[in-house]
Chains A and B, each alone.
Chain A
């Protein structure tokens, strides 16, 4: 399949990345090579095979619905680049 400029812009947007035109060129080549290579999976007959997410037979690992202490807010906010009155400060998102 052809890796078009549109495809590169599309996956970059999905990934919330902005690329310079140099980076776009590189990405087109590198991702093109990689995707061509991974296309070899098409030759594999997987009809009837269940997709395997987890290699061991563990499911539904739950805990009791009991209230436990969570983390201390100040320690969680300590790494915040911008904070205000116990909240993360973010650009305005709603008009």
Chain B
């Protein structure tokens, strides 16, 4: 058995017990990432820095100076999270050689907790996509079936864990970008409550929607990572005044009395039979474990996608206007004047999907259309939040699929962007309402592809979600399966 088969917490225990050294574990992960090169999960490996850090952390361990639950564990983070001096590309030609002059708060917190950064992970360009096919650095492949997508935009983060090349990773989620890849890759991921984790150093896509979160093989590991990365940050004015941590310590392993609501609007047309069966099967399992499971009506479901794409594109068009070829990023060799410089830098530096969303955003914010689109979407957002608030008066947790299908084939999604957007139906409303949501494996298709269930919670109730998933994972073994192990 390889140490890569351990959970992150199990590895940390072995490191504490000196059964294995930090440099050894780091070497194992770097080697696994190199072996996973055909999957293209990493944009850059941080080999030298990782091995140097590993030596330093080992010294501290030997001196008995550290004991945090994940000390010494190597990890990797999505390439839209700024790491000082280390290329942070956002999967884009625009930032191919960008080395941030500062460190994202979450990256710093992971360093303070003595984990070891090994790689920056591949992603859809500027986090815009659901398949990780739009990266300037090439598509990522799903370890379960390399003819299929890992999901997106945190495809590298999910695939690295699923491929057994990382104990845990960080991704980001604006409309489902942690949760949907977690579902497609059979791993556990959580998008925290908006404001729970600092966005300082996360390259902005949709600032009112973005959140960073962990991906791992167990809810327990995800809780341990969330302990490290959460907490109030004065550098992020949307950061909630909540202390870090408490999630691992607060994990319960029972769902007795947990009130689970299943929105009937989520189980209609368009949902693949295998996925429906797996998620409803998980509901039955939770019921047998003592949860009270009930179907209910969640209004506003059909308005989630238009609302999301209006708001996200509008914010993206504003956030990406900083890329002008002047301060950093791609700059064309020749240009006639300032305007020409802007046009060439942006048209040559950005890919098609990014340009599409910037234009959509410019449109919905433009004079004459602002009220009909952007303002209208913000009103719809208020109604969506209200619908969830009302649901949480009756239920502790809302259970749903994470996506209407399992992983799609490579090359089939980008030609019909609207169809691709419709796949986000279960995830986007969660970002609009600022709620926490977790995805964990709950079954497989007949063809052996992973299926995830989504648990949505009240604001700040990540603990409820993590406990429910942890209890589910004590009673089932979907999360333990690896690519190649599931009979078709």
Binding site for B on A (CB under 8 A): 7-8, 10-12, 14-19, 23, 26-27, 30-31, 33-35, 37-42, 44, 46, 49-56, 58, 61, 63, 71-72, 75-76, 78-82, 88, 90-93
The reply to whether B341 and A80 contact each other, CB–CB distance below 8 Å, is: no
The reply to whether A15 and B358 contact each other, CB–CB distance below 8 Å, is: yes
The reply to whether B302 and A40 contact each other, CB–CB distance below 8 Å, is: yes
Interface residue from B99, B101, B303 paired with A41 (Cβ < 8 Å): B303
Interface residue from A34, A52, A55 paired with B360 (Cβ < 8 Å): A34
A63 vs B381: C-alpha distance in the bound complex, in angstroms? 29
| B328 cross-chain contacts in A, Cβ below 8 A | 79-81
A41-B376, A81-B326, A91-B341 are contacts. A31–B363 as well, Cβ < 8 Å? yes
Nearest Cβ on chain B to A35's Cβ, whole angstroms:
7
The reply to whether A17 and B358 contact each other, CB–CB distance below 8 Å, is: yes
Interface residue from B331, B338, B375, B418 paired with A81 (Cβ < 8 Å): B331
Say yes or no: is B398 at the interface (Cβ < 8 Å to chain A).
Answer: no
Interface flags, B297-332, vs A, CB<8A=1, else 0: 000001101110110000001000100111111110
| 12 extra interface residue pairs, beta carbon distance < 8 Å, beyond A31-B359, A41-B310 | A31-B356, A31-B363, A40-B306, A44-B383, A51-B379, A52-B385, A54-B208, A55-B432, A61-B237, A81-B330, A81-B331, A91-B337
Interface residue from B307, B366, B432 paired with A11 (Cβ < 8 Å): B366
The reply to whether A38 and B380 contact each other, CB–CB distance below 8 Å, is: no
The reply to whether A15 and B362 contact each other, CB–CB distance below 8 Å, is: yes
Say yes or no: is B120 at the interface (Cβ < 8 Å to chain A).
Answer: no
| A81 cross-chain contacts in B, Cβ below 8 A | 325-326, 328-331
Say yes or no: is B459 at the interface (Cβ < 8 Å to chain A).
Answer: yes
Binding site for A on B (CB under 8 A): 97-99, 101-102, 194-195, 208, 234, 237-238, 240, 302-303, 305-307, 309-310, 317, 321, 324-331, 335, 337-339, 341-344, 346-347, 350, 352, 355-356, 358-364, 366, 372-373, 375-383, 385, 417-418, 421, 432-434, 459
A58 vs B462: C-alpha distance in the bound complex, in angstroms? 20
The reply to whether B417 and A49 contact each other, CB–CB distance below 8 Å, is: no
Instruction: Compute the total of residue contacts between A and B using a CB distance below 8 Å.
Output: 163
The 3 closest A-B pairs by CB, nearest first: A55-B434, A51-B378, A81-B331
**For chain A, what secondary structure do more than half of its interface residues adopt (helix, strand, loop), or is it mixed?**
loop
A58 vs B335: C-alpha distance in the bound complex, in angstroms? 44
A27 vs B346: C-alpha distance in the bound complex, in angstroms? 16
**For chain B, what secondary structure do more than half of its interface residues adopt (helix, strand, loop), or is it mixed?**
helix
A37-B418, A41-B307, A53-B208 are contacts. A90–B383 as well, Cβ < 8 Å? no
A10 vs B338: C-alpha distance in the bound complex, in angstroms? 19
A52 vs B347: C-alpha distance in the bound complex, in angstroms? 33
| B237 cross-chain contacts in A, Cβ below 8 A | 61
| A27 cross-chain contacts in B, Cβ below 8 A | 355-356, 359
| B434 cross-chain contacts in A, Cβ below 8 A | 55-56
Interface residue from A34, A52, A58 paired with B418 (Cβ < 8 Å): A34
A44-B303, A46-B383, A52-B381 are contacts. A16–B346 as well, Cβ < 8 Å? yes
Q: What residue of chain A has the Cβ atom nearest to residue B344's Cβ?
A: A18
The reply to whether A46 and B101 contact each other, CB–CB distance below 8 Å, is: no
A15-B358, A34-B421, A51-B375 are contacts. A46–B380 as well, Cβ < 8 Å? yes
| B418 cross-chain contacts in A, Cβ below 8 A | 30, 33-34, 37
| A8 cross-chain contacts in B, Cβ below 8 A | 359
A34-B418, A53-B208 are contacts. A16–B321 as well, Cβ < 8 Å? yes
Nearest Cβ on chain A to B414's Cβ, whole angstroms:
11
A56 vs B306: C-alpha distance in the bound complex, in angstroms? 22
The reply to whether A41 and B383 contact each other, CB–CB distance below 8 Å, is: no
A57 vs B356: C-alpha distance in the bound complex, in angstroms? 33
| B433 cross-chain contacts in A, Cβ below 8 A | 55
The reply to whether B309 and A49 contact each other, CB–CB distance below 8 Å, is: no
A17-B343, A34-B309, A49-B379 are contacts. A12–B101 as well, Cβ < 8 Å? no
A61 vs B232: C-alpha distance in the bound complex, in angstroms? 12
A30-B356, A33-B418 are contacts. A16–B381 as well, Cβ < 8 Å? no
| B317 cross-chain contacts in A, Cβ below 8 A | 15
Interface residue from A16, A38, A75 paired with B101 (Cβ < 8 Å): A75
